[in-house]
Amino acid sequence: MLVTDGLIVEIGKKVRIPNDSQVIDGRGKYLIPGLVDMHVHLLSDGDEYPDTIAEDELKVMVANGVTTIRFMIGTPEQLVLRERSGKAHIVAPVIYAASPHLTGKEQGNDFVVTTAEEAREAVRISKTLGFDFIKITTFIDAQVYEAAIDEAAKQNIPVVGHADSRFVGVERALMAKQQIEHLDGYLEMLLSDDAPMKGSISDLYVYNPENWKSLDYIDESKIPELARKTVAANPFVDPTQHFMKNTFALPRSEASIRNQPDFKFYPKAVQDFYIGYLKKTKINDVPLSQRKKWLDIRNKLIKAIYDAGGKIMSGSDTPEFLWLYGYSLHRELKALSDAGLSNYAVLEAATKIPLFFSALLIRWEPSKRANKRIWFY
Ligand SMILES: [Zn+2]
């Protein structure tokens, strides 16, 4: 395969290799396209770790084949990284950055919005600063949310993120044509009409074992209609399924965590924090059979949305819960495959679909990136 100026120009056995090519021996290995991770954070986003480690964090992604990312809670530093990556000043993926998240309660790196005007102002500031998307998370009143959506339409900036079932809800988020992360709020939409309780098993509500009892009242016959509604509103769905599966559905012992190939890259304080947290989280009180059922329904939702014409996108929510950059995107490919997507559909979810979704924003100019030929064989 011959690559010139960052683009594949020829594939085959009879390609004439120009003399000045850099030659890469790929015998015994696999070559796949650069992967996209649509849900990424950095350890350096927080106050505990210095911004100076960010460039190394990005290199771990590239080393794992992740060549495009979307930051999902914006910081000013990410905009600098985006620019430096765009100019090829650093070894990093192509970067998109969502805004600091709009939330009803203070949670860090946020805009706390409790009135319509605060929401509009947060959207305008985000647009002015140059963020690519508006990120919505939790605890936002419906009218405040509507104001953010209206202002984002005026400012011509897409809205992405959570659909908090206690406040906004999936119906409203779909009406707004928001791109929804994590399948937030979807299980609640499947509760039977006469369900005696309406517990949410998504977003921050997942941590309350009581809510998991609502699984007994799920009516799976509602899945195809919900999938159709989703595709009609906004077909781009980023379920972050590996994250949900491996963090909340499958059991995770301390030994299994320490055996993960990516564990050793975390600072000790982060390792200790999550190991301690995972030992005492109340999710451990939820029976494994319930957690498995939750995973099965999420899998069915993903497959149904795909079958209805949905555009599934891969996102890992790295580096939360000791799931590191790149390693976790590979886990996401496996999770989407386990949900019933074909290998081709999985590769699309990690390449052309998220790139298409971001197409209007692309600032990558191949001719400025590289000026050489590479021959892979
Ligand atoms: Zn996230």
Instruction: Please give, one letter per residue, the 3-state secondary structure of 205-239.
Output: HHHCHHHHHHHHHECHHHHHHHHHHHHHHCCEEEC
Average pLDDT over residues 218-225: 97
Q: How far is the CA of 288 from the centre of ligand 1 (A)?
A: 24
Give the Cα separation of 180 and 175 in Å (integer).
12
CB neighbourhood size of 263 (10 A): 17
Q: Does domain 33-363 have CATH number 3.20.20.140?
A: yes
Q: How far is the CA of 186 from the centre of ligand 1 (A)?
A: 17
CA of 8 to the centre of ligand 1 (A): 33
Q: How is the chain split into domains, by residue range?
A: 33-363
Residue type at 288 in one-letter notation: L
pLDDT in tens, 187-204: 999 999 999 988 889 888
357 Cα: distance to centroid of ligand 1 (angstroms): 18
d(CA 110, CA 96): 17
How many A from CA of 39 to the centre of ligand 1?
A: 6
Q: How many residues does the chain have?
A: 377
Ligand 1 geometric centre to CA of 248 (Å): 15
Give CA–CA dist 190/300, Å, rounded. Answer: 12
Q: Is 29 exposed, middle or buried (0-12, 13-18, 19+ CB in 10 A)?
A: exposed
d(CA 9, CA 6): 9
* H helical segments located in 100-222: 116-129, 142-155, 169-175, 186-189, 209-212
Measured distance CA(239)–CA(292) in Å, rounded: 17
In this predicted model, what pLDDT tens digit does every residue of 78-109 receive, in sequence order? 999 999 999 999 999 999 999 999 999 998 89
pLDDT score at 360 = 53
What's the 135 CA to ligand 1 centre distance in angstroms?
10
DSSP3 helix / strand / coil % (the chain, rounded to 5) = 50, 15, 35
**Pair type for strands 159-161 and 179-180:** parallel
pLDDT tens digits along 126-164: 999 999 999 999 999 999 999 999 999 999 999 999 999
Query: In 3-state terms, what secondary structure has residue 256?
Result: helix
Percent of the chain whose predicted confidence (pLDDT) is above 70: 95
